[in-house]
Amino acid sequence: MKIYTRTGDKGKTTLVGGKPVPKTHIRIEAYGTVDELIAHIGLLHDTVEKKEQKYELLFVLDRLMTCAAILAADCEDCGVKIPEMKDSDVITLEKAIDNMEALLPPLTSFVLPGGQMISSQCHVARTVCRRAERQIIRLSEELFVPDTVIKYVNRLSDYLFVLARKVLHDFNKEDLLWKPGL
């Protein structure tokens, strides 16, 4: 199978199920942004040093690929098995968030990105995640999107925020707090 098909040369692509759509279609925007998020999470995975964080991020990569597959499918019976998102996927993120937060000082102010390269990368991934969430919600206003996809992406942005704080803590650095009017 060749990587290029030339079908995209005229601004079209094909969804899982065979339906051709413009590359600007809301479904493409949604799963394309998830794909961008996957690349950022891959960078985080390659950058973190703790085995537990690597494992969690590998789980996130797998679940995001599932989200992308769900968003790319426009069919009842596509002839291929589309994986599912489960409530347990959301719960797994919530447990990871709770475990990290138990080791962190309570927040007293808004936090600015910065303090350590990897923490800043977590914030970049978090903002891409929020954009993906907005696009998925926009898509869900027109077409069916499983609730678990929306919940997972919403919770993932929370996870990335807390991970940003946790990696700073791991480097013995404090949160970069926003002090208005500096």
pTM check: above 0.95: no
The CATH number of the domain covering residues in 11-177: 1.20.1200.10
10-41: pLDDT as tens digits: 777 666 656 767 666 898 899 999 999 999 99
Q: How many helices (H) and strands (E) does the chain have?
A: 5, 4
Pairing outcome for strands 20-22 and 111-112: unpaired
Find out whether 75 and 143 touch, Cβ atoms under 8 Å.
no
pLDDT digits (tens, 9 = 90+) for 64-116: 999 999 998 876 666 677 889 999 999 999 999 999 999 999 998 999 999 99
State the burial class of residue 80 (Cβ atoms within 10 Å of its Cβ: 0-12, 13-18, 19+): exposed
